[in-house]
Amino acid sequence: MADDNTHELVRALFDEWALSGRSEVMQRGHEATARQACARFRLGANQRYLDIGCGNGYSVRWAADLDASLEAVGLDVSGEMIALARKRSSEQPNARFIQAPFPLPELRSGAFDAIFSMEVFYYLPDLAAGLADVRRLLKPGGRFACVVDYFEENAASHGWPEMVGVPMNLLSEAQWRDAVEAAGLDVLEQTRLYPPAELEVEDWKREVGSLLTLARRPE
């Protein structure tokens, strides 16, 4: 029941943000670091891509644009975000969207070459179960890029749960690495991502950056 309540709080929050226009603010705020993370995938023809917590679908559209044979999938608990994503991706037949919480057992095991998530996994009521499902969904050798701004080393983020009224998992860099490895994934890289100098951003984005944990499912 606690899991259901957290999913409902997150759904309501992101429905509100979608309706208020905040999805565009989120995209602008995350786009530069999201592109840096997604570049690690080196996606190509006939591959399958999943964005967990896709918001308005911006990364799904990037992936779909790479090759017509690539299947790009976005998953989000917010129905309003999914409605935005579908509207903005209407001319991309290789982009599709699913409104559901994660983990989602209905998704086929070993189906994806790459899985991306931006600012989502700390919302999961059961982080270990979510990471285990990422491993299940990846093909052997497939990659997972998890980016978070809410982490122990970013003191500026610590008040966010109270600010938005949603519980979050606060982990350190080392704990993120440990959690990903405990799910049976090999960590390839853990680093900070920073926006380009010309962007106007909060001070912490320049000083602390976003935390990327890049992992792969063993062959």
Q: How do the domains of the chain map onto residue ranges?
A: 2-216
What six digits make up the tokens of 15? 């429905």
Peptide bond preceding 103: is omega within 30 degrees of 0, i.e. cis?
Answer: yes
Mean of the per-residue pLDDT values of the chain: 95
Considering the entire predicted model, what is its pTM? 0.96
19-37 pLDDT, tens digit per residue, is: 999 888 888 889 999 999 9
pLDDT exceeds 90 at position 180 = yes
CATH number of 2-216: 3.40.50.150
How far is 168 from 121, CA to CA, in rounded Å? Answer: 9
Q: Check: CB of residue 213 under 8 Å from CB of residue 158.
A: no
Q: What is the mean pLDDT of residues 113-141?
A: 97
pLDDT exceeds 70 at position 2 = no
74-122 pLDDT, tens digit per residue, is: 999 999 999 999 999 999 999 999 999 999 999 999 999 999 999 999 9
Q: How confident is the model at residue 198 (pLDDT cuts 50, 70, 90)?
A: confident
How far is 57 from 7, CA to CA, in rounded Å? Answer: 19
Strands 186-193 vs 210-216: parallel, antiparallel or unpaired: antiparallel
Long-range contacts of 176-182 (CB under 8 A, 24+ apart): 176/146, 176/148, 176/151, 176/211, 176/213, 177/213, 179/127, 179/128, 179/131, 180/131, 180/144, 180/146, 180/213, 180/215, 181/215, 182/128, 182/131
Sequence-separated (6 or more) residues with CB below 8 Å from residue 120: 52, 53, 102
